Homo-oligomer: A and B are copies of this chain.
Amino acid sequence: MFKELDPILHSQLRLAIVSLLITVEEAEFNFLKEKTGATSGNLSVQLDKLKNEGYIEVNKSFRNNYPLTVCKITPKGIAAFESYVERLKQYINPKSE
């Protein structure tokens, strides 16, 4: 009756990150940090998990001599998000079945 919720997405911060990345072409580290309110360390760790899962791409470069980390959701990440949302609806829409 209750299907598994992808543990990679069932995390407040990672869900917020993916939710943001769904809406934009790409996003910088600090944009994500501001929008989510996460600390740098936490954000760094969670971006890494999303990257290792293949849900996002992370591009590191330099801009004005400073490091710049840019993130972008992948097709796999979009699919995972959509699937997660569908499954979640089973949980939060109690009248079903």
Q: Which of A9-17, A55-63, A64-72 contacts B (4 or more CB under 8 A)?
A: A9-17
Residue in B20, B37, B85 whose CB lies within 8 Å of A92: B85
The main secondary structure of chain A at its interface with chain B is helix
A2 touches B37 (CB 8 A): yes
Asked if B35 contacts A1 (CB within 8 A), the reply is yes
Partner of A91, one of B1, B2, B15: B15
Provide the residues of chain B in CB contact with A88, threshold 8 Å: 88, 92
Interface residues of A (CB under 8 A from B): 1-2, 4-5, 10, 12, 15-16, 19-20, 22-23, 35-37, 84-85, 88, 90-92, 94-95
In addition to A10-B10, A20-B94, A23-B95, 10 A-B residue pairs with Cβ atoms within 8 Å of each other are A1-B35, A2-B12, A2-B35, A2-B36, A2-B37, A19-B91, A19-B92, A19-B94, A22-B94, A23-B94
